[in-house]
C-alpha cells in the first residue's frame, strides 16, 4: 500500500472500527473539517483499503470546497463482500457501523450512500446511531432526499453539456459512451439522451454493449432491470467491460470503476472528451497525459458534485425542487469557471485543485 501523504489540508484523522460481536471491520478518514463536518459516503467491499478511503476523502474535501458548501471531506468503508451476505447479515454489519460512529457523527462526520450502500442502509445507520443528521441520502419518511433520484447523474450531464459547448460541439450531433450503468451512469445517460446525444456504448460488470447505430435508453433500462445486464440488450456487439475505452465516440462518461484509465491505457481512448462521473477514475498524471493528447477531462469533483449538493439541501431541510435547481446552478457555474482557466500547460484538474485548495485553506 502507498504511504498516505500528510499535507497542508490533512488528513486530520483515521479511525479503524472493529465490532467483536458482528466481526464488522471498518475504516473512516476525516480528511478535513476546516469548512465544516467531513462529508462523504460509506461504501461496502471486500477490498476496501486505507489508501482508497483517503483518496476518496480528499476528493470529497475538494468537491465540497469547489461547490462552496459548509462541509469538509471524509469517507468510510465497511470491509465485507455484500454479494456473500444475506440481508440479515448485512443489516447487522451496518447497524454495528452506525452504532460505532455515534461519537463522531454528525458532529465531525456525515455519511451518505456509496457502493452497495443505498437508501435502506442509510435508514439502518440512523436507527443504530439515533440521530437523523448522521447521514444524508435517507428515505423520504426520515426527511431525506434519496440519491436514487439521480442528482449525481443529473449534475454530470450538465457538466458534459458545458464541456461540449466549450469544445464548440452540438450535443445533438455527438455520440457518447457510459462506463457503469448504475445510479450515476443510468441518470447521466438518461439526461444526455434527452438532450439529443446518441448513446453508442454502455458497460456494467458483465461486459460492454457497443451499438454504433444508437442505443435506446428506455429499452436499455428495461433490459437491465429485467435481465440484470446491459449486455442482454439484443442488438449490437458485446465485449469485455474494459473495452469501453476502445469505443469510437465523441465523449466518454465514467461512472463506476476507480482507476479505470491507467497509464498504459492513455493511447487507447478515441474520444475528445471525458467527463468523470465516478470518483478517481484515473490519476492526475494520466489526466495530464490525456490533456497533452488533446483530450479534455472534466474532473470528478467538479462533474459529479450533484450528490453532495443534494446532501447539503437535505441537511438544511430543503426540498427536491430546490435540490434540482441548486445542482444545476453550482455544477454549471463551477464547470465554466474551471474550463475558463484551462491552458495548454494547465489541465482541468490542475485548475480545479488550485481553486478548491485555496477555498479550504482560507477557512
pLDDT tens per residue across span 319-343? 999 999 999 999 999 999 999 999 9
pLDDT band with cut points at 50, 70 and 90 for residue 265: very high
- The β-bridge partners of 49 are none
pLDDT band with cut points at 50, 70 and 90 for residue 1: very low
Per the residue annotation, which of 39, 63, 75, 272 is the catalytic one?
A: 75
Specify whether the CB–CB gap between 221 and 191 falls below 8 A: no
pLDDT tens per residue across span 83-98? 999 999 999 999 999 9
- Domain at 151-353: CATH code: 3.40.50.720
Active site residue 75: yes
Neighbours of 168 (CB within 10 A): 6
pLDDT band with cut points at 50, 70 and 90 for residue 363: confident
Distance CA 248, CA 263 (A): 19
- Nearest of 236, 171, 228 to residue 209 by alpha carbon: 236
Model pLDDT, residue 6: 77
Give the C-alpha distances (Å, rounded to integers) separating 15 from 85, 118, 127: 24, 22, 21
pLDDT band with cut points at 50, 70 and 90 for residue 5: confident
Assigned C-alpha cell, 138: 435517507
Please state, for a pLDDT cut of 70, what percent of the chain lies above it: 99
The domain over range 13-144 is classified in CATH as 3.40.50.10860 = yes
Distance CA 270, CA 212 (A): 14
**Domain locations in the chain?**
13-144, 151-353
Q: Do domains 13-144 and 151-353 have the same CATH topology?
A: yes
Distance CA 207, CA 98 (A): 35
pLDDT band with cut points at 50, 70 and 90 for residue 2: low
Amino acid at each position: 500500500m502507498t504511504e498516505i501523504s500528510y499535507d497542508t489540508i490533512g488528513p486530520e484523522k483515521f479511525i479503524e472500527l472493529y465490532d467483536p460481536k458482528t466481526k464488522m471491520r471498518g475504516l473512516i478518514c476525516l480528511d478535513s473539517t476546516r469548512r465544516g463536518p467531513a462529508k462523504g459516503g460509506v461504501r461496502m467491499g471486500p477490498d476496501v483499503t486505507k489508501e482508497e478511503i483517503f483518496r476518496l476523502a480528499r476528493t470529497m474535501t475538494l468537491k465540497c470546497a469547489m461547490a462552496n458548501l459548509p462541509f469538509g471531506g471524509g469517507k468510510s468503508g465497511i470491509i465485507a463482500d455484500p454479494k456473500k451476505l444475506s440481508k440479515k447479515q448485512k443489516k447487522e454489519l451496518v447497524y454495528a457501523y452506525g452504532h460505532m460512529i455515534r461519537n463522531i457523527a454528525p458532529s465531525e462526520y456525515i455519511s451518505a450512500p456509496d457502493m452497495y450502500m443505498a437508501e435502506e442502509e442509510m435508514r439502518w445507520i440512523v436507527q443504530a446511531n439515533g440521530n437523523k443528521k448522521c447521514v444524508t441520502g435517507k428515505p423520504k419518511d426520515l426527511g431525506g432526499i434519496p440519491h436514487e433520484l439521480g442528482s449525481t447523474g443529473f449534475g454530470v450531464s450538465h457538466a458534459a453539456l458545458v464541456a461540449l459547448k466549450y469544445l464548440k460541439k452540438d450535443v445533438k450531433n455527438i455520440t457518447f459512451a457510459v462506463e457503469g450503468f448504475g445510479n450515476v451512469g443510468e441518470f447521466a445517460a438518461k439526461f444526455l439522451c434527452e438532450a439529443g446525444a446518441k448513446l453508442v456504448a454502455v458497460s456494467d460488470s458483465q461486459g460492454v454493449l457497443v451499438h454504433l447505430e444508437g442505443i435506446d435508453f428506455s429499452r436499455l433500462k428495461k433490459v437491465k432491470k429485467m435481465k440484470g445486464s446491459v449486455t442482454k440488450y439484443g442488438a449490437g456487439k458485446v465485449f469485455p467491460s474494459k473495452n469501453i475505452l476502445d469505443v469510437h465516440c465523441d465523449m466518454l462518461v465514467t461512472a463506476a470503476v476507480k482507476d479505470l484509465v491507467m497509464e498504459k491505457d492513455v493511447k487507447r481512448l478515441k474520444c475528445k472528451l471525458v467527463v468523470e462521473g465516478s470518483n478517481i477514475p484515473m490519476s492526475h498524471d494520466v489526466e495530464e497525459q490525456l490533456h497533452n493528447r488533446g483530450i479534455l477531462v472534466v474532473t470528478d469533483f467538479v462533474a459529479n458534485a450533484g450528490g453532495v449538493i443534494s446532501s447539503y439541501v437535505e441537511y438544511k431541510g430543503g426540498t427536491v425542487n430546490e435540490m434540482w435547481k441548486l445542482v444545476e446552478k453550482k455544477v454549471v457555474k463551477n464547470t465554466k469557471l474551471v474550463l475558463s482557466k484551462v491552458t495548454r500547460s494547465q489541465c482541468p484538474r490542475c485548475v480545479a485543485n488550485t481553486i478548491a485548495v485555496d477555498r479550504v485553506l482560507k477557512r
